[in-house]
Each structure stands twice: as structure tokens, then as C-alpha cells.
Structure 1
Amino acid sequence: MDPGIMADEAAVMEESCGPPQTPLVAVTFQKNVHRKLKYLEAEPKALGVTQIGLSAFQIICASVFLTEGVSQTHSDIPMIISSLLVVIAGSVAVAAQNLHLPTLKACLAMQIVACCASIVNIICSLIKMDNILTFCWIYDHNFTEYTAEICHKIENAQSHFHAECVVIHTALLAISVTLAAYCCKVVNCCTPAPKVPVITVQAPPVQQ
């Protein structure tokens, strides 16, 4: 056999046995490992502490009104229970800063509960405002002019206070919706986990 042909065949065999050719640039899609950090963008510590503080304020005020007999039990008891749920939701929101997935899921569930609780509190506050408007007029025939004046001042103060409560519970509702939205993005209960493109650049082999 011709030595030249044998040399060509050996060169082809050596080339086929060499390392496989790989592209210099490869694009793959992988899960975003940093997606949990998005929860921290909501400032959960600040919002959670706000939930706890405002709800505790509402619980104290409702308890004082009940103790002094200037409020109605049928509207204050639901407000106290709902506010306690919001306090728990705020505590879980602060605890979820560790980005532990079960804690984030618990935070999402509690924030949904807090949304419902805030709506209940808004309704109760509106009911209390409506009841206050007739409180003094019922007893006017037994009041002196001085006591009637005091009663109307108390009535006006309570009316303003419950209007403020409506604003506070509306703010708590907005906070709960915000935290629930960020938890939903992290937990991915509504949509599949997003994938991000990863571009890999490989250096060409060095020629010997």
C-alpha cells in the first residue's frame, strides 16, 4: 500500500479520536437561585413591625373602651380578634426574613388572613361610627345641659377616633396585600418558577 495513503488514513483516525468539538458560546436556562431575595425588597421587617404596632394600638384602645363601657361588645370583640391575627401575621413577616421556604409559605397564608381581618376591622369601625351618632340623643331627656354637652364632646371624639381607625385598618390592608404579593412571587404558588438565561463562554483549546 502506498505510504502516502497510509499516512492520510492515520491522520483521519487521529482527528476522529480527538476531543469533540464544543461551541464557544452556550445558552442554557436555569432556575434563579436568588429569587428568594426578592422578598427582602418589600422591607418585611419595617412592614411587619408596623402591622404589630398599629394592631396592638387598636387592641389596647378597644379594650379600654370595653372596660369603660363606652363601646359595644358585638363590634369590639371581632376587632380585637382580627387585630390579634394581624399581629401574628406581622410577626411571621419579620420571621420570614430568614428566607426559609416553609416560613415564607406561612407568611403568605397569614398575610391573606390579615387581609380578611383588616376588611372585617374596617366594617366594624364603620358600624361603630354609625352607632355613635345616636348615642347621646337617646339619653338627652335625662341629661342636664352640662352633662349633655360633655356627652356630645365624647361622641365627637369617638367619631373622629373611629374615622382614624378606618384609615389605620386601610393602611394595614395595603401592607398585607404588599407582603402577600412579594411572598407569592417568591413561593411561586400562582406561576411556575421563572428561569433565567445563563450564557457560558468557553475558551478555544490552546494549539500546541
Structure 2
Amino acid sequence: MADGEIENTISSSLNTGSGTGAAVEVKFEKNPIHTQKYLEAEPKALGVTQIMLSLFVMSIVFCTPLEEQMYFMTFKSSLCSLTSIVAGSVAIAAQNLHLPTLKACLGMQIVVCVLSAFCFMSSLSLLGLYMYTTACWEDYHNTTLGNDMCDRLWNIIEHVIGIEMLMYLTQFAISATLAGFCCKVIQCCTVRNSVPVIMLNAPRGPQ
């Protein structure tokens, strides 16, 4: 049977279904397993990963010697990490498939995506700045031993910033994945997923 014939058959069935005593009735009902699509993303595993990566970044930041010009970077990394911890917790809680929790999860994951992109760009600009400014101490402390120690210190800081950038990229990917699966469930993001239900009505006997 051609597609057009199938559509005509369904349409005629819908029309006859509205009448009294129709033999065939077609209804479109909400897919009962539509919300299960969120669980396909393994939200518990991704949420725990978000939390652990955030704690790892915070441990790196607070264990790194700081200067006055790096206070903003510490605040930025802490804000991004704390937000990711909250987002990971909400992603785990959204396993109950409660619609308000799923909406909160979507909002938090979008926020984490934006913050991760911002933190990545900030770290990238800081890394570029360190490539041209590698002064550790004042000129009167400028000795061969001091210069060698300065170079080693900046090499360590550059590796730390590189690790942070890798963590931000991972956070962005995880948040984008969870946000995408939340959109599959929330009706405001996707077309309502309905399935046709065909009901056969028994013919009425003679009165």
C-alpha cells in the first residue's frame, strides 16, 4: 500500500472514529516511554564525572601558588567548578524523570556550557600572556639560578593551565550531551512524541 493510501486510510478512520458506533477508532496518545530517553544518556555517570572533574580543578587551583594578578583566575575557576557540581547533582536527581527537575537540569547544563566556554577562553588568553611575560622577581634578584627556577615555575603553571583547559572542554562536552537529552524529553524543545492507538469497536447487535 502506498504512503498516500495509508494517510487516507488513517484520515478516514479518524473521521469515522468521531461518529457513534464506528468500527475502527484511531487516537494519538502521548508516548509513555518518551521520558525514558533521558536515561539513555547515563545521567548518573555523567553527573558524577562532572562533580569529580570540578573537584579536581578546584584542587589544582587551590594548590597552585598565586600572585595578585591570578586572583581573578582563581575566582573564575572556582565559580565554574561550583556551578558544575550543582549541575552534576541536578543531573543525577533528574533520573526520577520529574519534569521540573528535568527543566532545572537543562537550565543548569546550559549555564555550565556558557561558563566552561568562558573559562576556556580566559585560560587560553592567560596562557598566551604567560608565553610573553615570564618575569618572576625583580631585576635585582636576576641571577642564573633565579632565572632557571623562574623558567621551571612558569613551565609548571603552563601545564596546570593546560590541564584546566582540558577539563573545561570535557565539562562543555558533558553539559552539551545532558542538555541535548533533556531537550528530547521536554516538550518545549521538541515536537510532542505521540503514538497512534487503533481501537476496534465491537459491532452492536440488533436491537
Equivalence for 1:173: 172
State TM-score, norm by structure 2. 0.79
1:155 is the counterpart of 2:154:
yes
Equivalence for 1:69: 66
After the TM superposition, which residues 106-145 of structure 1 pair with which residues of structure 2 at under 5 Å, given as runs? 106-137=104-135, 139=137, 141=139, 142-145=141-144
1:90 is the counterpart of 2:88:
yes
Equivalence for 1:14: none
RMSD of aligned alpha carbons? 2.3
Q: CA deviation at 1:199?
A: 3.2
Q: Are the structure 2 counterparts of residues 176 and 59 from structure 1 closer, same or farther at C-alpha, using a change threshold of 3 Å? A: same
SS of 1:198's partner is strand
How many Å separate the matches in 2 of 1:154 and 1:83? 25
> Is the CA contact 1:135–1:155 (under 8 Å) kept in the aligned structure 2?
no
After the TM superposition, which residues 191-206 of structure 1 pair with which residues of structure 2 at under 5 Å, given as runs? 191-200=190-199
How many Å separate the matches in 2 of 1:37 and 1:192? 16
Q: CA deviation at 1:89?
A: 0.4
Q: CA deviation at 1:140?
A: 7.4
SS of 1:136's partner is coil
> Is the CA contact 1:82–1:120 (under 8 Å) kept in the aligned structure 2?
no
How many Å separate the matches in 2 of 1:39 and 1:187? 10
Q: CA deviation at 1:43?
A: 0.6
Q: CA deviation at 1:138?
A: 6.0
**Gap runs ≥5 in structure 2:** 1-19
Instruction: Tell me the alpha carbon deviations over residues 105-142 of structure 1, each in whole angstroms, 9 at most, x when there is no partner.
Output: 11011111111111121022113212322443464742
How many Å separate the matches in 1 of 2:129 and 2:138? 16
**Gap runs ≥5 in structure 1:** 1-19
How many Å separate the matches in 1 of 2:126 and 2:63? 15
Letter in 2 for 1:186: V
Equivalence for 1:33: 32
Q: CA deviation at 1:75?
A: 1.9
> Is the CA contact 1:89–1:114 (under 8 Å) kept in the aligned structure 2?
yes
How many Å separate the matches in 1 of 2:135 and 2:90? 45
Equivalence for 2:42: 43
Q: CA deviation at 1:84?
A: 0.7
How many Å separate the matches in 2 of 1:203 and 1:176? 52
What percentage of residue pairs aligned between the two structures are identical? 41
Quick check: 85-94 or 130-139, which moved more?
130-139
Instruction: Tell me the alpha carbon deviations over residues 159-201 of structure 1, each in whole angstroms, 9 at most, x when there is no partner.
Output: 1221222122111101111101111111122234221122345
How many Å separate the matches in 2 of 1:118 and 1:152? 29
> Is the CA contact 2:106–2:178 (under 8 Å) kept in the aligned structure 1?
yes
> Is the CA contact 1:101–1:187 (under 8 Å) kept in the aligned structure 2?
yes
